[in-house]
Structure 1
């Protein structure tokens, strides 16, 4: 079977399990036998007319019933009446052709034997051919009539007009599948050519349009576009603007799942509107599942921040590797309960423990280590909201630095096999307290890696995660739902993005690499302008930016960068065996003189001494430059956006003295 036929059959079979009300098979068999009877009567009438014999309208002779009986026998053998008539496809046409052809051949053979023995025939051989032609034609037209009648009565009742984006085999199969499911939510009007060229050809007798034709049309007949996952990936790999152009035309875009995910439960009624994550997601990640399974199988794994967006996704992705137990540690009670409910429903075989604890309490953490004896630790607990941490610098240092230090020291004390620290790209040349606190934690992790080779310390670093708690996408969605305006801090601000599942997959992969002390950075692709992100999200709702939904610029917030550092820079990274994971070469080296600074920083954090803590943090992380001291043209033109915080004033004094 060819790939194209396989695709067609998968799509056509989607609808069949959904059918609840259909004519019983015995009735279809009876109708097919009646059709064979009419065809036989017609054949005898035509043969008698041609030979000059008597031409009665109805003939009730045993040869006629013998011919009809042979045809009925093949109906039963090939089960040609088993299909649902209103969903008849090319496969059903071939079955009817087989039935008729076998009947004709059988009758001809019987005719020959009958003639050799009794010098008579059931019917002239030409009559047999006529019978076969009429039978097949009537069977075909009966199914076509039922199919078209059902389509006329039901297809337009609750369906919306739609186009299929693309003309590849998968796109054609989608079209055929939707056309066959006549009571579905879509009525296909045609296909859209990705090359934007006018084509005279037709697919399934439907026209092929170009983007230009849709733009030039006064009134677009369809309001929806259906795109396969394969076509979507093809468009994104070419950096094509087709989707943006279609969104500008106020067309809703629906995504069909990957071919390998089709099953009998898949329905065209369940197609989902495309999300911003679908537009930004890159090529799939290939993981070394055998290696990861050997690393995590039957292990006791501690995940801190397990109720957060990153931590919970790490837990979900660890589950298939069958760990002995996962310890879910978080200080947030309700979110921790939510992830537990998810695991009970979707991973009933997983053994896990819920632990309420604060990473700042070393005594509480020691009890957790002593009770559960974890072998691998994924540390994702952190404060990450940049503006909020600017106003609360000690809290940022207390959780991001002190909390990480507590966990890392206990990991050496209890001889943990691997400790994976989830850091951030904001630790690179930090301009905010959140990034600087993470960088201080990275330095401490490197110090332990040098002194404690028994535990493999790994640091992973990546940028913004699409849809994570507190990220820009949920914020924009809420603003759009409220009718706007959508607020963007700066027209030129850019960020690196990856999806939650992609980030966590790379964390698991990096967790199995290295000898200890390495800082792994992820290939985040190309930076995305936040203003473009806002435009896309507004268009996805069928609205027009700055017409239906206003966009306002509010100015950079305290500690916020205009441009994030490019983590995948080949000059500052070394490659690994995974194409999307690199070692940060510039930050790999650790200076032993930093030990005393790290201990002193911890002392100031415990004393709640903001001024001395920031002073020492500047010495420990010399590249730390708060954003308030950096002159941006846009910020200068909006003085009201330059908010001062207690820590920036303290830092200003420190900077002036130095």
Structure 2
């Protein structure tokens, strides 16, 4: 319009007449501008409507404060082609607005009463953590509405490529994850930097995560030792891709073979050892007790003795809560290994021996989470051993962070117990996992009770009955003051147990194990059989009726 006015004025100066009246230029200019503007709006809105009916998912957006409104206003305008926000869910007690972008704002109660047109809700990562810290029942209510919950990336990670397809659906680990752990990075860096570190069981869930979490501390070299060829190859491929700068060696070796382990110590001269190699499946070890003793006890002994011989700076042993008042072979063999570690710690040597003890790890190989996921994918039923069975859980990254932190503590011989939070009912875990898939427990996916397996407890313990704990500088790590204090009389028992294990003498090995670990009391699973008349089953049945109504 300005250009036309200028040309019109130039023409007037040269020809003494105008092509068009100035008023006409202004009028026609404004008409053209508004026509173009409304045409662009029409095209954009038509595109949005077409895509929303074809492929763009309809979602709710969760808000907890006025600040969230500003974030979502920007996201809606920038990413309207990725997800179609049809409403907002407000968790703030104070009344905010009634509509945003001409979209309704619901409370959870109103959402229950409305005919939901969206099947998903998007929650920012920061808000998800706040909800879990303050009121985890909100997430359960959202799951009851059969809404899939997606996590929005952190604000600093937003970019033009953010879309609904790239959003991550929350997992059971997200629901159970606790507040982030604060590590003493300065101290850990001085401990692990430029060191050669041996990690046994490096292809397993715990071992591989320890390796990954050691990377930021710039070790000189990490030795990955495992007997499982394919998983070790897989973790090596992962390291090559994600940490190309990492200097590491991958070694196939069995911790039962002391001669092979000696070659490893001689060749690579490790300075720190994280020992995570173990047999851990309780029912499997009940059927193969000599193998459990051979790996969990003898293998640990081999590594610990070589660590003393080669003057390793620190030896960190990964134990388990099942070593407390053990009712199964796996727990008893781990307790026997703990006693041997304590015996070495009592001696005057240069190696600092540390034992870490924690419960179940979410998502680890062979754990209940992958098992339930597979059963849900296959359409059920989801099998739980007993309606009252509970377990302590923590995520893999949380467990390994605490292992690294504990590895820098103590003077040797301590058993460090991790704060596992409150125990979780496995049946509740199954209910949450089914709801996370948008299905209803005992309606879409059945839950069945199979009865306790050999050696399995109803309740796990982190500390023996008469044990107490002492605090450390880290709020989530305590020192267990074991009542089963090591004394020299146990040397003979440890020696005899090793002899019987080497001979593959099952009967004598078990007899010696019970002498060494007197608190080991196998249980009769028949005492915990599940029957239809069990009041717990009746309680579960009442839950089922509620689920069916929902």
TM-score range, shorter chain: 0.7 to 0.9
User: How far apart, CA to CA, are the structure 2 residues paired with 1:224 and 1:196?
Assistant: 23
Deviations 1:469-512 (A, max 9, x none): 00001000111111110000000001111111111011111111
Deviations 1:289-312 (A, max 9, x none): 111111111100000000001100
- Is 1:498 aligned with 2:461? no
Aligned length, in residue pairs: 525
- Is 1:546 aligned with 2:509? no
Query: Which secondary structure state, in structure 1, belongs to the residue aligned with residue 448 of structure 2?
Result: strand
User: How far apart, CA to CA, are the structure 2 residues paired with 1:215 and 1:153?
Assistant: 28
Q: Does structure 2 retain, via aligned residues, the 8 Å contact 1:382–1:400?
A: yes
Deviations 1:551-603 (A, max 9, x none): 10000000001011145999721111011111112258422221111111111
**2:165 equivalent in structure 1:** 269
> Does the C-alpha gap of structure 1 residues 204 and 571 become closer, same or farther in structure 2, counting only changes over 3 Å?
farther
Greater relative contact order (Cα < 8 A, sep 6+): 2
* Residues 334-413 of structure 1: pairs in structure 2 closer than 5 A: 334-413=230-309
Deviations 1:189-241 (A, max 9, x none): 11112257886622333221011112122x21111110111221122112432
- Is 1:242 aligned with 2:138? yes
Among 532, 541, 551, which residue is 2:428 paired with?
A: 532
Query: Which secondary structure state, in structure 2, belongs to the residue aligned with residue 582 of structure 1?
Result: strand
* Residues 93-242 of structure 1: pairs in structure 2 closer than 5 A: 148=45, 150-168=47-65, 171-182=68-79, 184-194=81-91, 201-217=98-114, 219-242=115-138
Q: Does structure 2 retain, via aligned residues, the 8 Å contact 1:178–1:186?
A: no
User: How far apart, CA to CA, are the structure 2 residues paired with 1:320 and 1:177?
Assistant: 35
User: How far apart, CA to CA, are the structure 2 residues paired with 1:492 and 1:226?
Assistant: 33
Among 286, 300, 304, which residue is 2:200 paired with?
A: 304
Among 248, 256, 267, which residue is 2:152 paired with?
A: 256
**2:184 equivalent in structure 1:** 288
Query: Which secondary structure state, in structure 2, belongs to the residue aligned with residue 476 of structure 1?
Result: helix
User: How far apart, CA to CA, are the structure 1 residues paired with 2:58 and 2:105?
Assistant: 15
User: How far apart, CA to CA, are the structure 2 residues paired with 1:238 and 1:182?
Assistant: 30
- TM-score normalised by length of structure 2: 0.88
> Does the C-alpha gap of structure 1 residues 182 and 379 become closer, same or farther in structure 2, counting only changes over 3 Å?
closer
Of stretches 195-204 and 290-299 in structure 1, the one that deviates more from structure 2 is 195-204
Q: Does structure 2 retain, via aligned residues, the 8 Å contact 1:461–1:521?
A: yes
Q: Does structure 2 retain, via aligned residues, the 8 Å contact 1:155–1:182?
A: no
> Does the C-alpha gap of structure 1 residues 523 and 364 become closer, same or farther in structure 2, counting only changes over 3 Å?
same
Query: Which secondary structure state, in structure 1, belongs to the residue aligned with residue 22 of structure 2?
Result: coil
Deviation at 1:634, TM superposition (A): 3.9
User: How far apart, CA to CA, are the structure 1 residues paired with 2:88 and 2:161?
Assistant: 26
Query: Which secondary structure state, in structure 1, belongs to the residue aligned with residue 524 of structure 2?
Result: helix
CA-based RMSD of the aligned residues comes to 3.2
Q: Any gaps of 5 or more consecutive residues in structure 2?
A: 10-17, 535-550
- TM-score normalised by length of structure 1: 0.74
* Residues 457-496 of structure 1: pairs in structure 2 closer than 5 A: 457-496=353-392
> Which has the greater radius of gyration?
1
Deviation at 1:466, TM superposition (A): 0.6
Deviation at 1:150, TM superposition (A): 4.7
**2:509 equivalent in structure 1:** 613
User: How far apart, CA to CA, are the structure 2 residues paired with 1:474 and 1:464?
Assistant: 13
Deviations 1:322-347 (A, max 9, x none): 11111100000000000000111111
Q: Does structure 1 retain, via aligned residues, the 8 Å contact 2:308–2:349?
A: no
Deviations 1:416-472 (A, max 9, x none): 000000000111111111001000000100110110441010011111011100000
Q: Does structure 1 retain, via aligned residues, the 8 Å contact 2:221–2:247?
A: yes
Q: Does structure 2 retain, via aligned residues, the 8 Å contact 1:422–1:459?
A: yes
User: How far apart, CA to CA, are the structure 2 residues paired with 1:167 and 1:231?
Assistant: 8
**2:214 equivalent in structure 1:** 318
- Is 1:559 aligned with 2:522? no
Deviation at 1:165, TM superposition (A): 1.7
**1:422 equivalent in structure 2:** 318
User: How far apart, CA to CA, are the structure 1 residues paired with 2:480 and 2:532?
Assistant: 34
Q: Any gaps of 5 or more consecutive residues in structure 1?
A: 1-33, 45-54, 69-129, 639-658
Query: Which secondary structure state, in structure 2, belongs to the residue aligned with residue 316 of structure 1?
Result: helix
Q: Does structure 1 retain, via aligned residues, the 8 Å contact 2:361–2:395?
A: yes
Deviations 1:339-395 (A, max 9, x none): 000111111100111110000000000000000000000000000000000011110
User: How far apart, CA to CA, are the structure 2 residues paired with 1:297 and 1:637?
Assistant: 60
**2:15 equivalent in structure 1:** none
**2:13 equivalent in structure 1:** none
Q: Does structure 2 retain, via aligned residues, the 8 Å contact 1:150–1:182?
A: no
Deviation at 1:56, TM superposition (A): 10
